Amino acid sequence: MSESVLLKGGVVVTMDSTRRVIVDGAVGFEGGVLTFVGKSSEVGGASRFDKVVDVSGRFVMPGIVCAHTHLYGIALRGAALQIRPSSDFLENLQRVWWPLDEKMNNDDAYATALGACMELALNGTTTFADTYSAPLNPEGSLDAIAKAVNEVGIRGVISFEATERRSAEEGRRGLEENVRFLSKGGEGLAKGMISLHASFTISDDLIAKGVEAAKKHRAPLTIHVSEGPNDVYHNIERYGKRTVERLHDTGLLGPWAVLAHCVHLNKREIQLLAASGTHVAHNPMSNMLNAVGVMKLPEMLEAGVNVGLGNDGYVFDGFENMRAAFLIHRVDRRDPSILSPQTVVEMATVNAAKAYGLSDVGSLQVGKKADVIVVRPEVYATPLYGNVYGYLVNGIRGGDVEHVFVNGVHIVRNRRFTRLDKEKAESKVVETVEKLWQRLGHQPPEAVEPLKVK
């Protein structure tokens, strides 16, 4: 049950339309909805709140909104897989991700979602957009993920990644899983959307059916776009046009669409995104991991493209992803002024919410959902009221998040979950992932030849 709570005395980072930052501010909520955002001195009858919490020396801000993730990617953390090293992004898909996809079942979907949602929540993310892939076992997978989402208590926009990399039937089953989940209205805090893998693994027919389903159910549609150069080459060779041009011609672009990555785009493609109101999910840490390049973020922002920030299933700490976005474009352009800290925080909150049509989260404003996080720097060495956005981007990490409220429910209190047994959940996750590793050909440490020191 949600409480009537007043958080009082902190530095409130509203992310509202004027980007108000309120020193000695207060945030109050009742029935899961924000009822007060302003100066502590203006609260008046604080007695109407069941609980008043002193948050002096802390930031109070909207929960982070992750624009793109793969919850099941957590299963690859530390995995010693028997594979040949990849030389490029496509080989990484073929040797790592696609074999993982083909071994996943609904138990794995639940366990990996549970582990990832716990990590997201502890690091201050209250809403995420996820695409899951298990082409051999699509049916019922979104129910398994939704179960984990609701147990942790954060919001998820979840989907199954339809692909035709092996057959058209595979794509049909994937799309039907999305439609099935959307048709029942989601489940609790988990809502559905349409997901297509990437233009180099799907036909024009599947694109058309995906767009039709998204419009019918008034749901977002997401797709990976030009993450690596192979996507561009595929479309030029087969269709005589670049990736975004093909998506434009097939009717996918529009305010309902969120294109993940968009690393290898030219000026014409960026203009098409801007003109159509299409959104982009930027994943800088994953792009570095896969060595695919740096997207043209400054050009996109200048053109008016709405860009949110995601993690692509790699690092589930939203503050680390903010910092990576802030730094990678500086070094790429050799320009220390190319991107402001405020812009990065916007990408991780209001921009990401806008991308998925979530008008009631992403900022602290009266009438919006009470998705709020309270953050205290590990070492409180300087005042918080100076360059607030610079502090958040350069001086905060997920481990600094003390409290997390979703729908007004206190799901993390002093870095401990209030709705689930973390240790019990961890045990279940590790047990399930260990079995998954065995199916993947994981090599246990004792089987690895010891390092010979000369």
Is residue 424 predicted with pLDDT exceeding 90?
Answer: yes
The structural domains of the chain, with segments of one domain joined by +, span: 64-355
CB 419 within 8 A of CB 154: no
* Nearest partner of 205 among 181, 159, 169, judged by Cα: 169
% of the chain beyond a pLDDT of 70 = 96
d(CA 257, CA 280): 8
CATH of domain 64-355: 3.20.20.140
d(CA 390, CA 340): 8
Q: What is the pLDDT of residue 98?
A: 81
Tens-place pLDDT, residues 57-88: 999 999 999 999 999 999 999 888 777 788 88
**Contacts made by residues 437-444, CB under 8 angstroms, sequence distance 24+:** 437/75, 437/79, 439/103, 440/79, 440/81, 440/99, 440/100, 440/103, 441/81, 441/82, 442/79, 442/80, 442/81, 442/82, 443/80, 443/81, 443/82, 444/80
Q: What is the pLDDT of residue 83?
A: 75
Q: What is the pLDDT of residue 341?
A: 98
Q: What is the pLDDT of residue 318?
A: 98
| 427, two tokens | 């045990």
Tens-place pLDDT, residues 245-260: 999 999 999 999 999 9
| 3, two tokens | 């409480």
Q: What is the pLDDT of residue 45?
A: 64
Greater pLDDT, 45 or 143? 143
* Encoded amino acid at 51, one letter: K
Q: What is the pLDDT of residue 47?
A: 65
Q: How many CB atoms lie within 10 A of CB 267?
A: 10
Is residue 453 predicted with pLDDT exceeding 60?
Answer: no
Tokens 């991700």 belong to residue? 97
Q: What is the pLDDT of residue 46?
A: 57
Quick one: average pLDDT of 147-165? Answer: 97
% of the chain beyond a pLDDT of 90 = 88
Q: What is the pLDDT of residue 1?
A: 61
What value does the mean pLDDT of the chain take?
A: 94
Is residue 454 predicted with pLDDT exceeding 60?
Answer: no
Tens-place pLDDT, residues 79-136: 887 777 888 888 888 888 888 888 999 999 999 999 999 999 999 999 999 999 999 9
